[in-house]
Amino acid sequence: MKTVVRTTQLLVLSGCFSALVAQDDAAKVNFEKDVYPFIENSCVSCHKAPYIKEGRTRPTKPKAGLRFDSAFGIVKGSDDNAVVVPGKPEESSILQRTLLDEDHDDFMPPKGDVLTDDQKKILEKWIKEGADFGDWKGSQEDRPDDAKDAFEKK
């Protein structure tokens, strides 16, 4: 009898856990709450508005011309190309570079905190959902007049 009760309890707990996971998967990713905290922690130190380093007179520019501290910076992408292709995580280098082997020259971030598997899944989901920033704009420092805060809907 104890075995039947224990098995029933485990099945109920398993069902509850599955429902929570399914509910979590159904919730839309909120860029400001779910994505930006780990982007800020792992990427922004190298990819932010130009600034003057102590002891220097010329501004330090964002690596590859890419800014992760603003919606317009992420929409613009790097000097080379777009880093986010809404709906297409496989074409979005912001995600693909985190999936490379850590010894690869293009792996990101090259220093600091590497994204966890859960963070990579959240980033992938955000991109699949269309890479919506919601109300988040981020830094407006050095914002170009023609900058866009959202990806164009297709």
Confidence at residue 26, expressed as pLDDT on a 0 to 100 scale: 76
Q: Tell me the pLDDT of the chain (154 aa) as tens digits.
A: 555 445 445 444 444 444 444 445 679 999 999 999 999 999 999 999 998 888 888 889 999 999 999 999 999 999 989 999 999 999 999 999 999 999 999 999 998 899 999 999 999 999 999 999 999 999 999 999 999 999 988 6
Confidence at residue 2, expressed as pLDDT on a 0 to 100 scale: 55
SS (H, E, C) the chain: CHHHHHHHHHHHHHHHHHHHHHHHHHCCCCHHHHHHHHHHHHCCCCCCCCEECCCCCCEECCHHHCCCCEHHHHHHCCCCCCCCCCCCHHHCHHHHHHHCCCCCCCCCCCCCCCCCHHHHHHHHHHHHCCCCCCCCCECCCCCCCCCCCCCCCC
